[in-house]
Amino acid sequence: MTPAGRIAAFVFLTAAAAGAALWATRESLRHRENPQEVGLRWLKDEYHLDDATFEKVSALHRDYFRQCDKMCRQINEADRPLLWRARNRNRQPGELNAQLARDQIVCGDCEKAATGHLKQVAALMPGQSGQRFLDDILPIMQQQRRVHDENLSSHLRR
Amino acid sequence: MKPEDPDPLDDLLAQWQVPQAETPPDFRREVWRRISATEPEPGWIEKLAWWLLRPKREAFIVAAAIVLAVVWGLTHPPQPEFTPHDAYVMSVSPFDPHHLDGRYP
């Protein structure tokens, strides 16, 4: 190997070792926190909740997450056959519409449950914080619902 | 000529002596100078390779690079994958694209 080739090989191996060390260090520092825990901490800080209020809010969220888990499973089960429609072209249109209607009902129930939960949380917040909280979160969720429905219908139109 | 016949040059060769000559003081240096004059001057890459690629120096450089990388990693921790606000929305909104991540395969 020429001197230039040996230097290049050495530089490459050194850079690879340093890159691997950097990656390993950063990965070891990366927080693997649950979004639910991170979100609750944000809620406490953002809306200046005292410990007693935060405990009530946390209890509400625990109940909601349990309910949400069940309902998300239902949404997932309702969405999946619709998203797999492309693989089952021989389905009857009536069957598809029935599934779409079921999906809309499940999504409506989920949205209602989420909205109700958010309003309960807002009611526990002091002063104008509750309204600020609803003004922040509800429009985002409604927008996400619209995007979800659009994605589903555009998938079905393919 | 038969092999047992004496060669007339044998006596002459036996009498021949190498004269003891004094070598000049810079003889050895001059020899090396002439040898090096016939070799091309090494380029900067050859000089760098000669200086750099020695086992102890290589090991030191690799170790220093790894230490620097670890220090850089410790002082520049990775950014979270999502903001706390997004994490809250993700956890409560059933329509968030990441709401179901890793929950139902």
Q: Which residue of B has its CA nearest to A140?
A: B89
B103 contact A CB<8A = yes
CA distance A121 to A116: 9
Helix (H, G, I), strand (E, B) or coil at B45: helix
Does the beta-carbon distance from B48 to A111 stay under 8 Å? no
Does the beta-carbon distance from A147 to B65 stay under 8 Å? no
DSSP element (H, E) containing A61:
helix A51-83
B40 contact A CB<8A = no
What tokens were used for B73? 């990693």
Size of interface A-B (CB pairs under 8 A): 137
Does the beta-carbon distance from A114 to B62 stay under 8 Å? no
Does the beta-carbon distance from A26 to B73 stay under 8 Å? yes
Does the beta-carbon distance from A41 to B73 stay under 8 Å? no
Of A65, A76, A54, A150, nearest to A113 by C-alpha is A65
B25: closest CA of chain A, how far (Å): 37
B46 contact A CB<8A = yes
List per-residue pLDDT tens for chain A, 158 residues long: 888 899 999 999 999 999 999 999 998 887 777 888 889 999 999 999 999 999 999 999 999 988 888 887 777 777 666 666 545 556 566 767 777 787 788 888 889 999 999 999 999 998 889 999 999 999 999 999 999 888 877 776 66
CA distance B104 to A68: 13
| pTM, entire model | 0.59
pLDDT of A79: 66
B65 contact A CB<8A = yes
ipTM of the complex: 0.74
Q: Which residue positions in chain B have pLDDT lower than 70? A: 1-4, 101-105
A7: closest CA of chain B, how far (Å): 6
Does the beta-carbon distance from B49 to A137 stay under 8 Å? no
Write the residue in B69, B95, B96 that is nearest to A22 by C-beta: B69
Sequence-distant (≥ 6) Cβ neighbours of residue A9 within 8 angstroms: A1
In eight-state DSSP terms, residue A89 is: T
Chain B positions in Cβ-Cβ contact with residue A83 (cut-off 8 Å)? none
Helix (H, G, I), strand (E, B) or coil at B2: coil
A76: closest CA of chain B, how far (Å): 8
What is the rounded (10 degree) CA torsion for A141, A42, A54, A139?
-20
